[in-house]
């Protein structure tokens, strides 16, 4: 059985921009079924917003069609999780609170991000919830 994981937008963007590396490996492992990524409406909207930015489009070696195909494949392996409650861990960036809520609602103990500092220092903490960088996860933390 694959491990559930919340894949932060920073990992998706790094995977699109870089031709290889740990973020690309996370995406590959999700597509191969090693990880079961969780997604919510809020995370989906964030992915879509960020990939539509000209700065991101110009930085990736992929065409818009290739980006869309890759994301469609990724979405097809995601488990969509409805969020019925809002946890307020009071992170430095309030816009990241939903990532913790998604992990909790989807019974996952893992968030993978390139921005660990954004998810640290919460007032409300959850025992057993790990926040890892892609390179930590690919090396078996």
Return the CATH number at 49: 3.40.50.1010
End-to-end CA distance of the chain: 18
Model confidence at 136: pLDDT above 80: yes
Give tens-digit pLDDT for 54-111.
999 999 999 999 999 999 999 999 999 988 766 555 545 556 678 888 998 899 999 9
The Cα–Cα gap between 131 and 118 comes to 10
pLDDT of residue 58: 93
Top pLDDT among 117 and 74 is at: 74
Q: What is the pLDDT of residue 126?
A: 60
Q: Work out the burial of residue 12: count CB atoms within 10 Å of its CB; fewer than 13 is exposed, 13-18 middle, 19 or more buried.
A: buried
Q: What domain range is 93 assigned to?
A: 3-138
Name the domain count of the chain: 1
Mean pLDDT of the chain: 86
**Quick check: 123 pLDDT over 80?**
no
């Amino acid at each position: 059985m694959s491990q559930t994981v919340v894949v932060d937008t920073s990992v998706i963007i790094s995977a699109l921009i870089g031709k290889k590396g740990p973020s690309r490996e996370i995406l590959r492992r999700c597509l191969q079924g090693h990880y079961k990524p969780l997604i919510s409406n809020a995370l989906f909207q964030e992915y879509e917003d960020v990939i539509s930015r000209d700065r991101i489009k110009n930085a990736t070696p992929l065409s818009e069609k290739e980006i869309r195909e890759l994301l469609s494949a990724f979405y097809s392996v995601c488990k969509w999780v409805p969020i019925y409650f809002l946890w307020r861990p009071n992170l430095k960036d309030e816009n990241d609170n939903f990532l913790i809520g998604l992990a909790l609602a989807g019974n996952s103990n893992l968030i993978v991000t390139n921005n660990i500092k954004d998810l640290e220092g919460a007032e409300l903490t959850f025992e057993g919830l790990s926040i890892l960088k892609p390179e930590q996860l690919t090396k078996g933390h």
